[in-house]
Chains A and B, each alone.
Chain A
Amino acid sequence: MSERTYVDIEAELTDQPINFDEDICLAENVVYIKPQTLIDVPMHYCPGCGHSTAHKILMEVVDEMGIQEEIIGVAPVGCSVFAYHYMNVDMQEAAHGRACAVATGIKRIMPEKYVFTYQGDGDLAAIGTAETVHAANRGENILVVFINNGIYGMTSGQMAPTTLPGMVTTTSPYGRDVKTQGYPLYISNLLANLPGVAYVSRHSVHTPNNVRKAKKSIAKALEYQKQGLGFCMVEIVTNCPSNWKMTPKQSNQFVEEKMIPFYPLGDIKVPEGK
């Protein structure tokens, strides 16, 4: 890390003195700072990508629960394939779609540890559907953070199982035709029906309030894991500005106007008595 402070760099770049109130910028006054468990490197995600926000809140929860040394993560294949470069916890990189199986292997031999997978829609709900459904059905005591942006980001914009009807992608160039290309998969609702599943909740990270809620939900899920309640999934409906061919702002608007009405936010299943 550079020894220069942010203030120095900004002053150099803007070529003018920056007015920071030193009376306020004191450690005791910090209300938000990057979580320590998020490794201090630039993330490869596109500007405005919800993956980064999801990484951030997941690591905030790990920080706040103080479980950095007790948690093992499983990274997927997709845009978040490099999640282990950003999360400062022990991690394994799974084959495409197999994260829940890998997590099962880890959790079964170390039931005392926290285990999470971080998966996108293609990984979790297309190629990895079997692994996801069966891990859920066995009630594997793991947390699945499911990022749903309705598109394949890493391979540059192909149709995902969760692509909205009529939505244009590189493999549904005339819009997803449900008659020939199938319907969007409500994987969270599907999993919520299984008795092994303890908690399923859907959130977004496009506004400050939604970020807060999503974070709370992840914290809850890890708490349930500690109590051994079973399979927990937090779905995060988010954006893909680059492959939706939108600015980050427009993409968040699309999340608000199109994605959320189709994938309504909130708890889908909560443990009994919670």
Chain B
Amino acid sequence: MGDLKLMKGNEALSEAMIRAGCDAYFGYPITPQSEVLEYLAREASARTGMVVLQAESEVAAINMIYGAAGAGRRVMTTSSSPGISLMQEGLSYIASAELPCLLANVVRGGPGLGTIQPSQADYFQSVKGGGHGDYKLIVLAPSSVQEMVDFVKLGFELGEKYRNPVMILTDGAIGQMMEKVVLFEQMPRKTEFPDWATTGKKPGKDRNYITSLHIQSEKMEEINLRLQAKYKEIEKNEIRYQTVNLEDAEYVFTGFGLVARICIKAMEMARAKGYKVGVIRPITVFPFPTQVYADVAPQLKGILDVEMNAGQMVEDVRLSVNGATKVEFYGRMGGMIPSPEEILENFERIYIKGETK
């Protein structure tokens, strides 16, 4: 049994990082996640000897992650949308070199400098690769402060299992809000490192080198095929989702992260009005829980996908149901959060009154 605490999302994430035996954090301040670096600077080093360094930019931070991850350490960085954009170069290299690492994107509204308010507009960037080349991150979408904690531990485990970067795709609201959380016990930091890590050449063994460069096309294709096979394996094993009231559902509200919570509230209000509504909430947005949508689609009159963006996950939902049911979208942008009433109202407008915009 761990400790029960009232914590802000970003601080809970930081605390979980320390407790998960993280070896190093490299980051750069950006609203709305600056508390992470502040919390770690205060707490981490004295408690576990973890390295905490404020880099000169997100570009440098992600490359420090590359270096330390390449030495087989448990490493993490966090940022928010504009900073994550800067990290895309490094992430592509990390994915190609198959280095495990964890990052959290506390998403804010874009494009450009945008706003510091919560958003989900980085969905495409997170789940479709983000940088150059064919690669995927494992993407976890927490919808509570508790999950900010749990997904740190899970994220490190998944990253190390698949030698792949893992992203916690959260938003400014979850990062800033306070909720009670159960924290897991302090885990020891690793003392043994993987065979591939560059920790100094071992006597009698070949040197290790970490690279993403394979100039021969045949070799590079081989690397790509290996990566794709790994992503297939991840899709087979690691899909996580939550469903509510699907059994008798005629309609489904769907959304990830914070919006999923609002969808559940909207669903309850819809049920009170007699509409048979269920909720599907992808917890992993890559790998995407395609099958759960496909399975339930034939019994449905329609799906309402709600997001804090212009409609990104809705594309994956449509691909999942493959025409078996109607998929409509409702979203807010630029830092606005949809209310349950708004969702219900738009559900009724689209599916009950049959109005289109």
- Chain A residues in contact with chain B, CB under 8 A? 68-72, 74-75, 81-82, 84, 88-95, 98, 101-106, 108-110, 113, 130-131, 134
- Give the residues in chain A near B208, CB-CB below 8 Å: 90-91
Which of B31-39, B62-70, B334-342, B344-352 is found at the contact surface with chain A? Answer: B62-70
- Give the residues in chain A near B201, CB-CB below 8 Å: 68-69, 88-90
Whether the Cβ atoms of B198 and A105 lie closer than 8 Å is no
Please, how many angstroms separate the alpha-carbon atoms of A84 and B24 in the complex?
Answer: 25
Known contacts A103-B67, A105-B65, A108-B68, then 4 further A-B pairs from the complex at CB < 8 Å, ordered by chain A residue: A69-B202, A72-B198, A109-B68, A113-B199
Whether the Cβ atoms of A106 and B71 lie closer than 8 Å is yes
- Give the residues in chain A near B59, CB-CB below 8 Å: 98, 101, 130-131
CB distance from B188 to the nearest CB of A (A): 16
**Given A95-B89, A113-B200, A130-B57, do A90 and B207 touch, yes or no (CB 8 Å)?**
yes
Judged by a CB distance under 8 angstroms, whether B282 is at the interface is no
- Give the residues in chain B near A82, CB-CB below 8 Å: 213
Whether the Cβ atoms of B68 and A101 lie closer than 8 Å is no
Whether the Cβ atoms of A101 and B51 lie closer than 8 Å is no
Please, how many angstroms separate the alpha-carbon atoms of A74 and B209 in the complex?
Answer: 9
- Give the residues in chain A near B63, CB-CB below 8 Å: 94-95, 98, 101-102, 105, 131
Whether the Cβ atoms of B210 and A89 lie closer than 8 Å is no
Judged by a CB distance under 8 angstroms, whether B291 is at the interface is no
Please, how many angstroms separate the alpha-carbon atoms of A91 and B68 in the complex?
Answer: 12
**Given A72-B71, A101-B55, A108-B24, do A92 and B198 touch, yes or no (CB 8 Å)?**
yes
Whether the Cβ atoms of A105 and B64 lie closer than 8 Å is yes
- Give the residues in chain A near B316, CB-CB below 8 Å: none
Whether the Cβ atoms of B199 and A92 lie closer than 8 Å is no
Point out the residue from A72, A75, A105, A134 that lies within 8 Å of B200, measured CB to CB.
Answer: A72
- Give the residues in chain A near B329, CB-CB below 8 Å: none
Judged by a CB distance under 8 angstroms, whether B203 is at the interface is yes
Whether the Cβ atoms of A98 and B60 lie closer than 8 Å is yes
A-B contact pairs, 25 of them (CB 8 A): A72-B71, A72-B200, A91-B207, A91-B209, A91-B210, A92-B66, A92-B67, A92-B70, A93-B209, A93-B210, A95-B90, A101-B63, A102-B63, A102-B67, A104-B55, A104-B60, A105-B24, A105-B26, A105-B63, A105-B75, A106-B68, A109-B71, A113-B199, A131-B59, A134-B56
CB distance from A192 to the nearest CB of B (A): 19
Please, how many angstroms separate the alpha-carbon atoms of A109 and B67 in the complex?
Answer: 9
- Chain B residues in contact with chain A, CB under 8 A? 23-24, 26, 51, 53, 55-57, 59-61, 63-71, 73, 75, 89-90, 93, 97, 198-203, 207-213
Which of B23, B61, B63, B69 has the largest number of chain A CB atoms within 10 A?
A: B63
Point out the residue from B26, B202, B213 that lies within 8 Å of A93, measured CB to CB.
Answer: B213
Whether the Cβ atoms of A84 and B209 lie closer than 8 Å is yes
- Give the residues in chain A near B61, CB-CB below 8 Å: 101
CB-nearest residue of chain A relative to B215? Answer: A82
**Given A90-B207, A93-B209, do A106 and B90 touch, yes or no (CB 8 Å)?**
no
CB distance from B47 to the nearest CB of A (A): 16
Please, how many angstroms separate the alpha-carbon atoms of A86 and B53 in the complex?
Answer: 32
Whether the Cβ atoms of B200 and A84 lie closer than 8 Å is no
**Given A95-B89, A130-B56, A130-B57, do A106 and B210 touch, yes or no (CB 8 Å)?**
no
CB-nearest residue of chain A relative to B50? Answer: A109
Whether the Cβ atoms of A81 and B213 lie closer than 8 Å is yes
CB distance from A216 to the nearest CB of B (A): 24
Whether the Cβ atoms of A131 and B209 lie closer than 8 Å is no
- Give the residues in chain B near A109, CB-CB below 8 Å: 23-24, 51, 68, 71, 73
- Give the residues in chain B near A71, CB-CB below 8 Å: 200
Please, how many angstroms separate the alpha-carbon atoms of A71 and B69 in the complex?
Answer: 17
- Give the residues in chain B near A113, CB-CB below 8 Å: 199-200
Whether the Cβ atoms of B60 and A101 lie closer than 8 Å is yes
CB-nearest residue of chain A relative to B51? Answer: A108
Whether the Cβ atoms of B56 and A131 lie closer than 8 Å is yes
Whether the Cβ atoms of A95 and B198 lie closer than 8 Å is no
CB-nearest residue of chain B relative to A103? Answer: B67
CB distance from A134 to the nearest CB of B (A): 4
- Give the residues in chain A near B71, CB-CB below 8 Å: 72, 105-106, 109-110
